Amino acid sequence: MTERSIAEVLFANEAFYAAFAAGSFEDMAAIWSDSDTVCCLHPGQPPIHGRDAILESWRDILRDPPPIRCVEPVLLPLGEEGAAVICWEVIDGGQLIATNLFRREQGMWQIVHHQAGPLSVQVSLSLPEEDAPHAVN
Amino acid sequence: MTERSIAEVLFANEAFYAAFAAGSFEDMAAIWSDSDTVCCLHPGQPPIHGRDAILESWRDILRDPPPIRCVEPVLLPLGEEGAAVICWEVIDGGQLIATNLFRREQGMWQIVHHQAGPLSVQVSLSLPEEDAPHAVN
């Protein structure tokens, strides 16, 4: 997988979380693949198969989105047309661990699968600088 | 993705669960990719990155494997060199939902990522016939 493809996949993964955090249904719909071989596993829920059902589930979530951030993404290449990103999701101080799958379709990296699951332990994460505690004057 | 590749990936997924259920460390080690870009998310646990650490975690699990079975696998193609299988794991009457990622390496489909997560609801599954309740005489 080329450096450019790796950067594009990580950018697509960031775009997924940006759409999630912003509550933008339009951006979320644009990031998900148009294909029907897509799947979404919301935490603790049974799988949702097919684009229409998946987007319907996101429509509900995005009406009142949590303050979610993706931390420490790690990319696994799957040939030239696919890739996985494993990352932490930090929500309201809680943590989930996620697998996001991307497929290149007409030159664009589109998400085709998302699984987020709960942790039974709390892990110390390297949060981006903007999240570091600030001194109170 | 060709019919043959689809069959091979589903067979590799079955082989993963056969090694798991049989407690065969050798079979599990053969199924996991030799590459170091591999990841494993056991239920509720933080991610394990790298082949050696992943196999070490399986060595512990496989000493006393649960009676695990894979139910209703669904394949998502990721180009010609990668694929995901989403499936239920039935363990001791409980259910987990899993994402397994496979990459074609030297002609063999090898697992490069596994995430299994708990469900907060119980789902009615179509179990294989051998698991249907038997009449008691």
Tell me the per-residue pLDDT of B1-60, one tens digit each, with 9 for 90 and over. Answer: 999 999 999 999 999 999 999 999 999 999 999 998 999 999 999 999 999 999 999 999
**Residue of B44, B79, B121 lying closest to A103 (CB–CB):** B79
Q: CB–CB of A33/A105 below 8 Å? A: yes
| Shortest Cα distance, chain A CAs vs residue B13, angstroms | 16
* pLDDT, position B130: 56
Calculate the average pLDDT of chain A.
92
**Would you call A118 an interface residue with chain B, using a CB distance cutoff of 8 Å?**
yes
**A134 vs A11, residue with greater confidence:** A11
Strand A68-78 with B39-41, pairing = unpaired
Output the CA torsion sign for B67, B14, B79, B1. Answer: negative
Give the E-state strand segments of chain B in sequence order. Answer: 39-41, 48-49, 68-78, 82-91, 94-105, 108-118
State whether A119 and B44 contact (CB < 8 Å): yes
- The alpha carbon of residue A15 is apart from the nearest alpha carbon of chain B, in Å, by 20
User: In chain A, which residue ranges form alpha helices assigned H by DSSP?
Assistant: 3-22, 25-31, 51-63
Q: Which tokens hold the place of B136? A: 């008691």
CA distance B46 to chain A (A): 7
Contact: B82, A78; criterion CB under 8 Å: yes
* Reported confidence tier of residue A113, pLDDT bands at 50, 70, 90: very high
The sheet carrying A82-91 orders its strands as A48-49, A39-41, A108-118, A94-105, A82-91, A68-78
CB of A113 within 8 Å of a chain B CB? The answer is yes
Please state the pTM of the whole predicted model: 0.91
Alpha helices in B3-136 (DSSP H): 3-22, 25-31, 51-63
Its ipTM equals 0.90
pLDDT at B73 over 70: yes
Instruction: Tell me how far CA of residue A97 lies from CA of A39, A73, B119, in angstroms.
Output: 17, 10, 14
For B82-124, the pLDDT digits (tens) are 999 999 999 987 999 999 999 999 999 999 999 999 988 888 8
